[in-house]
Structure 1
Amino acid sequence: MLIGLESPDDAAVWRLDDGRVLVISTDFFTPVVDDPYDYGAIAAANSLSDVYAMGAMPFLALTVAALPPDLDVSISREIIRGLAEKSAEAGVVIAGGHTINDKEPKIGLVALGFASEDAILRKDALQVGDQLVLTKPIGFGVTTTALKQEQAAPEDIAEVVGWMTRLNRDAALLALQFKLRAATDITGFSFLGHAWEMAEAAQVGLKIRYSAVPFVSCAREHALAWRFPGGAFDNQHYYQQHVSFDPQITDAERVLLFDPQTSGGLLMGVPRADVDAFMAAAKTSKQPAWLIGEVVPGDQIVVVP
């Protein structure tokens, strides 16, 4: 066992043989959108994300599902279809799994992937001077909460579903191409929560430029209406002691950085000498990437305008 409970990393890692490792992770959750097919596809992309975040390519999965016994079979079928088709897009074989009855739907995967031991991406590998790159925008949590409150427009949901169902495969391949060492994916603990996990593990500080952080187009509207999920305030309560905000950044803007994400993007540390080539390669491969800050000496995250 190379990486397990003692580490804050995104998955467990087991050495198989000379230079090759097995990466294992699991995730499942309740519906975040109304459409059952989209729910299944998001669950698959989210479950596979931790494998990609470790620099591995997933190849095998088991389904973990809890479905109400009185749920219309057509809905269950669409959830499973969304999960299966997104897994197939990733080149992942679903080899079985386990299903139980429950009052609320829950679905996800136990996912396995292969990686080279010398190419594993870790949270503790940031170095002072590294540039911080994010590969998906933020604002999924506040938008899906607006959906639950019947305050989200159809185009809002279509936008966030498009991002949440996007695999982190190409972002991981780009990280491997440039032999990066530090990465994580942005999920329930929010952008700042997961960024702090990296900073704390590497014993460095981070400087984030708020104006460079990407948001889905409706995020600010829903933030100003204070449609945040409860998890955003839990994240803020837990992590705000590690964050210093410039006074120009408003309360709503601050909470957006604590917004819990589902199937968010990768946050990666790119050496300064490689960042121009990395961003050019991302553009060429049509992999979204935003340069949002840098690693600095210190023991906190500083957010500037």
Structure 2
Amino acid sequence: MPRLTEYATGGGCACKIPAGELEEVLAGFGVTPPGNPEGELLVGLETGDDAAVVLTKDGTAIVSTADFFTPVVDDAYDWGRIAAANALSDVYAMGGRPLVGLNLLCWPREKLPYELAREVLRGGADIAREAGCHLAGGHSVTDVEPKYGMAVTGVADPALLMRNDAGRAGLPLSLSKPLGVGVLNNRHKVTGEVFAEAVDTMTRLNAAASRAATEAGVRCATDVTGFGLLGHLYKLARASGVTAVVEASAVPLLAGAREAVRDGFVPGGSRRNLEWVAPHTEVRGADEETLLLLADAQTSGGLLLAGEIPDAPVIGELIPRGAHPLVIRG
């Protein structure tokens, strides 16, 4: 069988358009229809949150998102599972529950057999089934690179909605999954080594963490994906008008992640993340290796929460806004 990662110029969420460039492209966009629209837009483009949220006239919050990317692993079934879990994560990050997903598939049909595409879709279907989410069709196109993901619609209680602009000083910061899948996936792409812990992490749904967070009263959260912990935390701190302090030694890492950085397996997306946040960050004692791991582009990463839940280590806190939105302590 061909190695799927050989057909991808990028890898997973590391292939995202850089955050700073994307913000320039999206500046001024966002459409609210004239007249009397069917619902009120609660979350749109303004803070770069994980999903759009519309409040319907009957009081239901509809959560809508889409996410797809190139292969991060060579196993087609695992890639499908990872991509589906990643797409569903945006709904969980808002405190919602996914209802229905639509497959998004780009396939180089003259290069890769359809049996691999079936495996990708099977992986996505199994994750949707695990999440209790309907999967109903989707869209497919011929492409030079394989890409897969989902458009997902979910629902949330508007009173329990989690958003990235609701942080306040005095709240702890917790992270529900370890970092390092970006550098490990890059190593896998180059060497073929398989990292089972990374695959397990990427295919694990954020459903339990989301449920625990809403039950604990957490109202500020985001998921950690292509812009890395530092990129997503910068967006949260900026939107909330606070400074986020990260204790680097408290951040959980996957086995082998630090070694992958030392051996040079750092994705370009991770380096771009660090370049983007560097002007907005005060570093106190953290070395470049640590900073690259904190900026590592994650695929299907964990929830970053302004609050505490079981099984999610506290990695820092929010404090009143200082000279920089981010402070990293080594």
Normalising to structure 2: TM-score of the pair?
0.85
Check conservation: 1:44, 1:83, Cα contact below 8 A: yes
Q: Give, in angstroms, the shift of residue 20 of structure 1.
A: 1.5
Aligned match of 1:300:
325
1:164 alignment partner, SS class? helix
2:82 alignment partner, SS class? helix
Q: Give, in angstroms, the shift of residue 17 of structure 1.
A: 3.1
What aligned pairs does 1:151-300 form with structure 2 within 5 A after superposition?
A: 153-154=193-194, 157-247=195-285, 249-270=286-307, 275=308, 278=309, 282=310, 288-297=311-320, 298=322, 299-300=324-325
Moved over 6 A (4+): none
Check conservation: 2:47, 2:235, Cα contact below 8 A: no
1:179 alignment partner, SS class? coil
Identity value in percent = 43
Q: Confirm whether residue 56 of structure 1 aligns to residue 56 of structure 2.
A: no
Residue 77 of structure 1: which of 114, 118, 122 is its match? 118
Aligned match of 1:13:
53
1:194 alignment partner, SS class? helix
Provide the aligned length of Structure 1 versus Structure 2: 287
2:49 alignment partner, SS class? coil
RMSD (Å) for aligned C-alpha atoms: 1.1
1:94 alignment partner, SS class? strand
2: CA distance between counterparts of 1:237 and 1:123?
22
1:38 alignment partner, SS class? helix
1: CA distance between counterparts of 2:152 and 2:91?
7
1: CA distance between counterparts of 2:278 and 2:45?
25
Q: Report the AA paired with residue 163 of structure 1.
A: T
Q: Confirm whether residue 30 of structure 1 aligns to residue 30 of structure 2.
A: no
Q: Give, in angstroms, the shift of residue 19 of structure 1.
A: 3.1
Q: Confirm whether residue 2 of structure 1 aligns to residue 42 of structure 2.
A: yes
- Comparing 229-238 with 22-31, greater Cα deviation is found at 229-238
Q: Report the AA paired with residue 296 of structure 1.
A: I
Q: Give, in angstroms, the shift of residue 96 of structure 1.
A: 1.1
Aligned match of 2:38:
none
What aligned pairs does 1:74-153 form with structure 2 within 5 A after superposition?
A: 74-150=115-191, 153=193
Q: List per-residue Cα deviations over 1:263-305 (Å, max 9, x = no partner).
A: 00000001xxxx4xx3xxx2xxxxx311100111124211112
Q: Report the AA paired with residue 155 of structure 2.
A: F
Q: List per-residue Cα deviations over 1:107-166 (Å, max 9, x = no partner).
A: 11110101011111010111100000000000010000011110x643xx2110000000
Q: Give, in angstroms, the shift of residue 33 of structure 1.
A: 0.5
2: CA distance between counterparts of 1:19 and 1:177?
20
Q: Give, in angstroms, the shift of residue 255 of structure 1.
A: 1.0
1: CA distance between counterparts of 2:46 and 2:318?
24
1:149 alignment partner, SS class? helix
Check conservation: 1:19, 1:118, Cα contact below 8 A: no
Q: Give, in angstroms, the shift of residue 73 of structure 1.
A: 2.2
2:234 alignment partner, SS class? helix
Q: Report the AA paired with residue 31 of structure 1.
A: P
Check conservation: 1:226, 1:252, Cα contact below 8 A: no
Check conservation: 1:50, 1:185, Cα contact below 8 A: yes
Aligned match of 2:107:
67
1:123 alignment partner, SS class? coil
1: CA distance between counterparts of 2:156 and 2:289?
40
Check conservation: 2:47, 2:165, Cα contact below 8 A: no
- Comparing 73-82 with 137-146, greater Cα deviation is found at 73-82
Q: Report the AA paired with residue 99 of structure 2.
A: F
Q: List per-residue Cα deviations over 1:229-269 (Å, max 9, x = no partner).
A: 0001111111111111123x221111111110000000000
1:124 alignment partner, SS class? coil
Aligned match of 1:285:
none
Q: Report the AA paired with residue 32 of structure 1.
A: V
Q: Report the AA paired with residue 171 of structure 2.
A: D
- Stretches of structure 1 that go unaligned for 5 or more consecutive residues are 283-287
